Amino acid sequence: MILMLSITVAFQFCFVFVSCDHGDKNVIIDLSYSYDEETLFWPGSDRFVHTIVQRGPTGVFWYESNKFEMGEHSGTHIDAPSHFSEGKQRIHDIPKEHLFGPGIKVDISEKASINSDALLEVEDLKSWEEENGIIPNGAILMVFTDWGRFYPNRTAYFGSDRNDSFTDENGKSLLHFPGVSPEAANWLIINRDVVGVGIDTPSIDYGPSLTFSAHVKLYEQNIYGLENVANLDQLPTTGSTVYALPIKIKDGSGAPVRLFAVADDVGTNSAESMAFSLFILQLDCLLLLMMSV
Ligand SMILES: [Zn+2]
C-alpha cells in the first residue's frame, strides 16, 4: 500500500512539474528596429535625428534629456489609413482594439529570394489557409519576405542607394523589393477581416510601384499598414498575439510603432493540459481503488 501511495504522490509531483514547465514557454518577439543614425527612411523623407540636450551631473543628481526629429514614416512604423485615403483614420483615430490581434505570418521568402520584385498573391493566401486554416478575424497579417536580412543596408534593402528620390528623371521607380499585390489586398478586404497588414520591407507595395494600389485599397477600408517590420523570421506562422503600439500623434498620417509579438505556449494548450489533468485524476482513482480492495 505504501508503494502505491508513493506512486500516486510521484504522479502528482510529475504533473505539477510538467504544468510549471509548460507555463514558462511564452516567448516575446521584438518586431521593431531601434531608432538611431542608421534608421532607414523613405527616399526624400526625413532621417531620424537624436540630439543630446543634457547629459551629465548637475551637482545634485545625474540628468539626461534629449530631443528627436524624424519623418512619420521612418524605421519600423505604422501607416494610418489616412496616409493614402482621404477622410480615413489618422493615428489617433485607430481603435485601441485594432492595435493588437492574432499574428499571422505568410512566408513568400522563397520566391523573393529569386525575384526582388516578388508579390504576395491571392494564391499564397489560399495555400496558407489550406495548411493553417482560415485567417482569423481581427488578425494582423505579416508578410515575411526575409528582406530584414538586408536592414540597415540601404542599397540592398531598397534596391537603390538614393535617399533623396525614389524615381529617376523619367519618373520610373528606382526601387526593388517585394510587396503585396493589389489583388491579394482586394481578396483580404472582400473575404477576411484583418485589422492590419505588415511587411519586412520599406513598403506594403513592391519597389517598382508608382500607384501604391495595395496601400490605397487597404487604407480605404481603414486597414492600417506596418512597414520595416523587424525579426519576422522569428514570428511563428500562427499562435501569437501581435501588439502594434504607435505613439499617439493627433492627426498623424503615420507614427513610430513599438511592435512585438507574444507567442503562445509552444507544444501545449489549455485543452492538452486539461486532458493530462483528467488522465492523472483517473490514474489516482484507479490506484486508490486498488488500495481499498
Ligand atoms: Zn509608411
Q: How confident is the model at residue 94 (pLDDT cuts 50, 70, 90)?
A: very high
Q: What pLDDT, on the 0 to 100 scale, is given for residue 18?
A: 37
- By mean pLDDT, which of 22-26, 49-53, 211-215, 248-252 is the weakest? 22-26
C-alpha cell at 31: 518586431
| Residue 257: exposure state from Cβ atoms within 10 A (0-12, 13-18, ≥19) | buried
Q: What pLDDT, on the 0 to 100 scale, is given for residue 229?
A: 98
Nearest to 117 by CA among 29, 181, 188, 178: 178
Q: What pLDDT, on the 0 to 100 scale, is given for residue 26?
A: 83
Distance 226 CA to ligand 1 centre (A): 7
The answer on pLDDT for 62 being more than 60 is: yes
Distance 27 CA to ligand 1 centre (A): 28
Distance 216 CA to ligand 1 centre (A): 12
Q: What pLDDT, on the 0 to 100 scale, is given for residue 264?
A: 85
Distance 227 CA to ligand 1 centre (A): 6
Return the higher-pLDDT residue of 72 and 278.
Answer: 72
Mean pLDDT of 71-83: 97
Q: Domain map of the chain by residue range?
A: 2-24+269-292, 27-263
Distance 121 CA to ligand 1 centre (A): 21
pLDDT tens, residue by residue, 228-241: 999 999 999 999 99
The contacts of residue 123 (CB under 8 Å, 6+ apart) are: none
Mean pLDDT of 247-255: 98
Distance 258 CA to ligand 1 centre (A): 14
- CA gap 92, 246 in Å, rounded: 9
Q: What pLDDT, on the 0 to 100 scale, is given for residue 286?
A: 54
The answer on pLDDT for 253 being more than 60 is: yes
Please count the residues of the chain. 293
Mean pLDDT of 22-35: 83
| DSSP single-letter state for residue 41 | B
Distance 73 CA to ligand 1 centre (A): 4
Q: Where are the beta strands (DSSP E) in the chain?
A: 27-30, 49-57, 62-69, 77-79, 100-107, 119-120, 140-144, 179-180, 196-199, 224-227, 240-246, 254-263
Which of the four CATH numbers 3.50.30.50, 3.60.20.10, 3.40.50.620, 3.40.630.30 does domain 27-263 have?
Answer: 3.50.30.50
The answer on pLDDT for 17 being more than 60 is: no
Distance 290 CA to ligand 1 centre (A): 68
Q: How confident is the model at residue 292 (pLDDT cuts 50, 70, 90)?
A: low
Distance 45 CA to ligand 1 centre (A): 10
* Model-wide pTM > 0.85: no
Mean pLDDT of the chain: 88
Mean pLDDT of 45-49: 95
Mean pLDDT of 75-85: 98
- CA gap 128, 133 in Å, rounded: 8
